[in-house]
Chains A and B, each alone.
Chain A
Amino acid sequence: MNSATERQLANWLQEGAELGPQLALERTLAQIHRTRQRPAWVFPERWIPMDLTMRRVAVPRSAAYLVLVGLLIAIALVAIAVVGSQQRLPAPFGPAANGVVAFATSAGDIVVGDPATGTSSVLLGGADNDTYPVFSRDGSQIAFIRSVPGGVKVMRVGVSGGQPREITPTAVPSAGLLKWSPDGKRLAFVSGGGQTPGTANGTMWIANADGSGAQPFDLEFTVDSEVEWRPPNGDELLVRGVRDGKAGLLLVRPDALQPPRPLTAFDGAENSYLWLTWSPDGSRFAYSNAEPKEVHVFDVDAGSDVTIEPRDNIELMFPRWSPDGTRLAFMVWLAGGQQQIGVAPAGDPRAVVTLTGPTFPSGIQHDWSPDGRSILAVGWDSNEPWIVDPAGGPARRTAWTAEISDWVEWQRRAP
């Protein structure tokens, strides 16, 4: 809590009644007594076997042989099917074909929706609270966060479903912003953290995607929520470090015994150096400051930092680099306080920003389609994803009606 407004707000929230009316409590208890508890069998996870703790049932020997033969035939058929249907996978960066969109619902389920067909289906349901699904760069896997006692576990599941597998074998306090390495073998994330950016006590972790190990990185600074593998090969990670309450950007080589390479000084305020996004060739990245609201483009080799200065009394935040590397999409803060998607050429700091799609009242989550022809935009407090035309043409709503709790991401497929 740093601003006067936040302090004023916190003090004001402490005011007021602490006790509810006794009559209302009694009315609530009476209502509870009139309500029937739902039996355990109506919850799917109770009747779909989800672990290996089921009791063994005695099976006659002849039946067991039949089952065994059946299993062998099934395995052979599956092997033939797998070999015969080896899918081509897209390169980790650059334009790709559009796949499905994954999101978590407010009920803690992972759902995939297809913008092309308008259909959606639950990939992971049940009582587990699963959030923040993220596709591997080749689009074949989804990593997500599952709430467990003592924290969370990072999990993964194939895009076609199946049994989820643990990436972090033990619970970590928290995990935000899961980031797949370009080769899909590792994930980076930040665990821990305080209540506001800039004061976080976060640690960068890197976990093997096959679940064989996860380790925290002991850096000489805390890592505040932002980590991004550098294209094209992921040898380095761009991180937002915090030291003595000041933020800075650094490149970390996770496999080398080299100290992190600072790109900026630790000179950023709590809302500086946020929302990092690499160009597909890894030569530049964009980031955003919140006060004032502006987007910068940083050229790594040249060490230059250029501020994009929009015209027309608008402000820019949340940059996202297009798959072909030519454009940046932003959340544009309009003069009236509303937000809208804006697109501008990536190389021109004075470029005209094309505003497109509907306006939103309270922030936008957005992601380029892998083919670069559309932008998926979801209001932070909306259940209605929009497919927006980067060129300013008409936008359309997707057909899904699920309650999206958080993040949406578009799957890459082979062109």
Chain B
Amino acid sequence: MTSELVKRAQQGDLEAFDALATAAYHRLYAIARRILRDGYAAEDAVQDALVRAWRDLRSLRDPDRFDAWLHRLLVHACQDEVRRSRRRPIEVRETGSEARAPHDDLAQVADRDQLERAFLKLTVEHRAALVLTYYVGLPANEVAAVLGIKPGTVYSRLHYGAEAMREILTTAPASTSSPGTGR
């Protein structure tokens, strides 16, 4: 079904692409939100990825690879978003409040803040590898295809990402606020 919609969209069928974009939107948003840790930036990244997908859809040779291709565009859009955010003033924002349950104690909140801060110190490429693996659940060869790297480098990035976070978490003092990537 998706493949058929992609073929129709490649012929310029905007209605078909609307259906593809609508079906993919929330999944892409959830991924971008986790890579960027910022809802507004995630909205921008998803919009950018989907607009690019529509614009360049005719370059996609294999309609069955639409999802992987879309993931790749999304990661590129996240990279662009981070580059743009570096040029914007950094503001302090509350982190992770939407996920906190009433029974969260102070230690868990501090843990989340530390995780958030440590995660944001990773590059967007490392964050993408971690999110695609541990959130989306893609196997290493699919992550490699999305990121345009070899599977061995996926392993390295996962290892480095976890290692770097472990080092930050073991050395950084607890904090209740953290810098965001923008807005």
Interface residues of A (CB under 8 A from B): 1, 3, 5-6, 8-10, 12-21, 24-25, 27-29, 31-33, 35-40, 43, 45-46, 104-108, 127-129, 131-132, 145, 147-149, 151-152, 173-174, 176-177, 193-197, 225, 271, 290, 337, 361-363, 380-381, 405-407
CA of A399 to CA of B174, assembled, Å: 43
Query: Which residue of the partner chain B has the closest CB to A191?
Result: B141
CA of A157 to CA of B39, assembled, Å: 44
A20 adjacent to B134 (CB under 8 Å): no
CA of A338 to CA of B45, assembled, Å: 29
**Nearest Cβ in chain B — how far from A68, in angstroms?**
34
A149 adjacent to B21 (CB under 8 Å): no
User: Looking at chain B, what size class is its interface with the partner chain?
Assistant: 35 or more
**Nearest Cβ in chain A — how far from B143, in angstroms?**
8
Name the A residues within 8 Å of B140 (CB-CB): 174, 193-195
A363 adjacent to B96 (CB under 8 Å): no
Name the B residues within 8 Å of A127 (CB-CB): 59-61
CA of A148 to CA of B124, assembled, Å: 26
Q: Return the contact of A15 from the options B29, B42, B99 (Cβ within 8 A).
A: B99
**Nearest Cβ in chain A — how far from B73, in angstroms?**
11
Name the A residues within 8 Å of B179 (CB-CB): none
B150 adjacent to A406 (CB under 8 Å): yes
* B28, B130, B134, B164 interface centre (most CB from chain A within 10 Å): B134
B58 adjacent to A149 (CB under 8 Å): no
Residue B62, interface by CB 8 Å: yes
Query: Which residue of the partner chain B has the closest CB to A293?
Result: B163
4 pairs of A and B residues whose beta carbons are closest in the complex: A20-B29, A174-B141, A15-B99, A10-B134
CA of A263 to CA of B47, assembled, Å: 53
B88-104 vs A, Cβ < 8 Å mask (1 yes, 0 no): 00000000101100000
Query: Which residue of the partner chain B has the closest CB to A405?
Result: B148
Interface residues of B (CB under 8 A from A): 12, 14, 17-18, 21-22, 25-26, 28-30, 33-34, 39, 42-43, 46-47, 50-51, 54-62, 64-65, 76, 96, 98-99, 111-112, 115, 119, 122-126, 130-131, 133-135, 139-141, 144-145, 147-153, 155-160, 162-167, 169
B153 adjacent to A195 (CB under 8 Å): no
B115 adjacent to A18 (CB under 8 Å): no
**Nearest Cβ in chain A — how far from B127, in angstroms?**
10
B59 adjacent to A43 (CB under 8 Å): yes
CA of A12 to CA of B116, assembled, Å: 9
**Nearest Cβ in chain A — how far from B134, in angstroms?**
4
Name the B residues within 8 Å of A1 (CB-CB): 134
A406 adjacent to B153 (CB under 8 Å): yes
B50 adjacent to A32 (CB under 8 Å): yes
B58 adjacent to A37 (CB under 8 Å): yes
CA of A142 to CA of B65, assembled, Å: 26
Inter-chain pairs besides A38-B58, A147-B65, A174-B151, 19 sampled, C-beta below 8 Å? A5-B166, A9-B134, A15-B96, A16-B96, A17-B98, A20-B26, A33-B14, A35-B51, A39-B58, A129-B148, A131-B149, A152-B141, A176-B152, A193-B141, A194-B139, A337-B167, A380-B157, A380-B160, A381-B123
A20 adjacent to B30 (CB under 8 Å): yes
CB-defined A-B contacts under 8 Å, sample of 6: A17-B98, A28-B43, A37-B58, A38-B58, A45-B61, A381-B124
Name the B residues within 8 Å of A406 (CB-CB): 148-150, 153
Name the A residues within 8 Å of B130 (CB-CB): 9, 13
B148 adjacent to A104 (CB under 8 Å): yes
CA of A45 to CA of B60, assembled, Å: 11
Name the A residues within 8 Å of B156 (CB-CB): 363, 380
